[in-house]
Amino acid sequence: MYRYDEYDRALVNERVEEFRDQVARRMNGELTEDEFLPLRLQNGLYLQKHAYMMRVAIPYGALSSDQVRGLAVIANKFDRGYGHFTTRQNIQFNWIELADTPDILAHLASIDMHAIQTSGNCVRNVTTEAYAGVAPDEEYDPRIFAEIIRQWATVNPEFLFLPRKFKIAVSSSQEDRAAVRMHDIGLYLYRDKEETLRFQVMVGGGLGRTPFLNKAVKDDLHWSEVLSYIEAVLRVFNRYGRRDNKYKARIKILVNSLGIGDFREEVEAEWQLIRGSFSTLTEDELSRVASQFLSPLYSTLDDANLEYGHHVTSNSEFAAWVSRSVKPHKVKGYASVAISTKFPTNTPGDLTAEQMQCIADLADAYGFRVIRITHEQNLVLPDIPKEYLFNVWESLCEVGLALPNVGLVSDMIVCPGASYCNLATAHSFPVAKKVAAAYSIEEQLEVGDISINLSGCINACAHHHIGNIGILGLNKSGEDYYQITVGGAQGKDSQIGKVIGPAVSEELLPVVVKNITNAYLANRNDKETFHETFLRIGLEPFKLAAYESAGA
């Protein structure tokens, strides 16, 4: 777990005081709203429908129990008792007063957290997967490079007013659980034949109005040159990215207008001029950061635990939860626990202060005081000895967080939508709730693993393009309508979903989604996943089935 040293702490503390002064100048009229806007955005502060919203970075999704408690304090003291975990490993507080924001940031600084560059046209929070450091299929802990890149990008003076926002994700496992392909820069870290760490660098991903998966620009970048290479990409983007149209300003548009070949040449030419100099990473720096991510001191445990086995066989509710929530761990006798924040008992991504407290307490009691945030808006206790899984489940039951639905239909990824967001064109939460409610848990288990993502507008915060079933909220003459895509997928074989036909009303949406999953059930061979069936049979059968008895 990365702990701030005196430099990190000085930076965030000074930044809080700088923003305190800027807020004061805004409130006394010295700063116009136009002048203040990028300053507040780069400190995580949005103005939403009803109030200011503060987005706090959770770098690479890792939190200590003390940090989770600190977030609970903010939820209680400055918000309405809850926070919303997002698809990019941030937490958002929705009901914030401008005058309180410096104190909130000061509180965050006191627990080694910040909201720097969680918005604005700059490099955003660097993300990775929730199981970093504990996944059995991992080659190298991606958090180490995520932290190195985070530091490099934080208040990097040349790249704070880019044409548009810029998102970086790192993954270093067989399976990509960090949605790398939809990032402006996606980094796959691997070991070559000589065991040297190298990156495959992917550039130009992004969803929104024009979705693109990123493309490989460099396959064998030596680890020590990752910062200079990112610098080269950013300088090319800063100089040549479009600034005349917000929707054409992301690097994906530049990559695709130049073509990947020409883009690669531009970056390569820039990189050759800056590489090998000051920004080459040193072994010392790598080991300094890596030493902060050492594994906890695991006990020597048996792989099987009798008591745990007994609970699984004798308690069917516990067994149901285990089958969805308990994930493999690289160390014998341990497991990772995924905690669903979803329907029917919760709102996707939302946790109350009380629930945060409970999770922090569980991490203290059983799990080395660490918690992770997933890009599916769920939480993870990464290091739980199997013998304590039953205790964890019992405690989660008490706060309504023991839902046995991780990875199922009702584990939908949903943005806050028109209930909060200025940008949203349609409601998200209440509509998603109806879709989830259309399925019994038995029906969900029959469908099995599936990703359903619902965004309340074209900006695609819920990543609807890469959901197996993607749902996009639109507004047609005052009414909410939902456009459906099928065939999206995340991971190394990511795909952008295809639109099946006309958008449907809120009322019909659950029927249509169910028709689509029924078409999957009717067509699947043996143990095929939804995506495998889609790849085999194509869009047509889903298209045909979708609107049956929906009258659309």
Tokens of 356: 């945060």
Which residue from 193, 261, 278, 477 is in contact with another protein, where contact means CB under 8 A? 278
| 488, burial (CB in 10 Å: exposed 0-12, middle 13-18, buried 19+) | buried
Which span sits near another protein by CB under 8 A: 278-286, 378-386, 396-404, 411-419?
278-286
Using CB under 8 A as the binding rule, whether residue 47 contacts another protein is answered as no
Which residue from 7, 194, 314, 440 is in contact with another protein, where contact means CB under 8 A? 7
In 415-531, which ranges are E strands? 452-455, 469-476, 479-486, 498-499, 504-505
Shortest gap between Cβ of 240 and another protein (angstroms)? 9
In whole angstroms, give the CA distance from residue 8 to residue 69. 21
Which residue from 66, 103, 268, 285 is in contact with another protein, where contact means CB under 8 A? 285
Which span sits near another protein by CB under 8 A: 281-289, 363-371, 387-395, 503-511?
281-289
Using CB under 8 A as the binding rule, whether residue 28 contacts another protein is answered as no
Shortest gap between Cβ of 279 and another protein (angstroms)? 6
Shortest gap between Cβ of 305 and another protein (angstroms)? 41
Nearest-5° Cα angle at 348, 347 to 352? 55
Nearer to another protein among residue 238 and residue 515 (C-beta): 238
In whole angstroms, give the CA distance from residue 45 to residue 117. 10
Using CB under 8 A as the binding rule, whether residue 455 contacts another protein is answered as no
Shortest gap between Cβ of 162 and another protein (angstroms)? 6
In the range 82-121, which residues lie near another protein by CB under 8 A?
A: 121
Nearer to another protein among residue 278 and residue 303 (C-beta): 278
Which residue from 154, 357, 451, 485 is in contact with another protein, where contact means CB under 8 A? 154
* Dihedral angle computed from the Cα positions of residues 546, 548, 551 and 552, in that order, rounded to the nearest 10 degrees: 30
Alpha carbon 126 to chain centroid, angstroms: 10
Shortest gap between Cβ of 90 and another protein (angstroms)? 20
Using CB under 8 A as the binding rule, whether residue 161 contacts another protein is answered as yes
Mapped onto helix, strand or coil, the DSSP state of residue 232 is helix
Using CB under 8 A as the binding rule, whether residue 478 contacts another protein is answered as no
Shortest gap between Cβ of 40 and another protein (angstroms)? 11
In the range 118-147, which residues lie near another protein by CB under 8 A?
A: 121
Among residues 428, 532, 524, which one has the least CA distance to residue 487? Answer: 532
Using CB under 8 A as the binding rule, whether residue 46 contacts another protein is answered as no
Shortest gap between Cβ of 268 and another protein (angstroms)? 16
Shortest gap between Cβ of 187 and another protein (angstroms)? 17
Q: Determine the size of the site formed for another protein (CB under 8 A).
A: 40
Spatial contact of 109 and 12, defined as CB atoms under 8 Å apart: yes
Mapped onto helix, strand or coil, the DSSP state of residue 185 is strand
Spatial contact of 136 and 175, defined as CB atoms under 8 Å apart: no
In the range 207-266, which residues lie near another protein by CB under 8 A?
A: 227, 235, 238-239, 243
Which residue from 33, 245, 261, 282 is in contact with another protein, where contact means CB under 8 A? 282
Which stretches of 377-467 are DSSP H helices?
A: 389-398, 429-437, 441-447
Longest CA–CA span in the chain (Å) reads 67
Spatial contact of 141 and 293, defined as CB atoms under 8 Å apart: yes
CB atoms within 10 A of CB 483: 18
Which residue from 29, 157, 261, 551 is in contact with another protein, where contact means CB under 8 A? 157
Among residues 154, 263, 145, 265, which one has the least CA distance to residue 204? Answer: 263
Shortest gap between Cβ of 293 and another protein (angstroms)? 15
In whole angstroms, give the CA distance from residue 502 to residue 59. 39
Residue numbers at the binding site for another protein (CB under 8 A): 5, 7-8, 10-11, 14-15, 18, 22, 31, 35, 38-39, 121, 151-162, 227, 235, 238-239, 243, 273, 277-279, 281-282, 284-285, 288
